Amino acid sequence: MTRYLIALASGLIFGLGLIASGMTNPAKVKGFLDLFGAWDPSLALVMGGAISVGVIAFALTKRRSRSWTGDPFEIPAETLIDRRLIAGGLLFGVGWGIAGFCPGPALVSLASGLPAAWIFVPAMLTGMLAYDYFAKR
């Protein structure tokens, strides 16, 4: 039961943070990505804050063997930057720039009933399933 309460609290805090920061607003995200137009740098502060929290969390994680729920940590050991990683990053960035969504904010927007999210999320899931299908072949 504790595991589910921690997951629920984490998801709620993450979702509220996405809403408060404007990450669920595709226009704000596109404004941040429009470097040569009406650039909106406010999301850089959000990303800086997220990176700071992540650095601290990973540093603390290295000192522990298990999470608060008792599950073992699974930190990837792979550090190779290859063509697949670069291509995936580029594809993610292009999709983020076109749609103004990445997965977390898209799910929050879906739950809030934003029509664009109802188009983006099924397309995202289709892409994930297609990747899984072709990666196994």
Residue 42: pLDDT band by 50, 70, 90 thresholds?
Answer: confident
pLDDT for residue 78: 83
**What CA–CA distance (Å, rounded) separates 26 from 122?**
17
pLDDT-derived band at 66, boundaries 50, 70, 90: confident
pLDDT digits (tens, 9 = 90+) for 70-96: 888 877 788 899 998 899 899 888 888
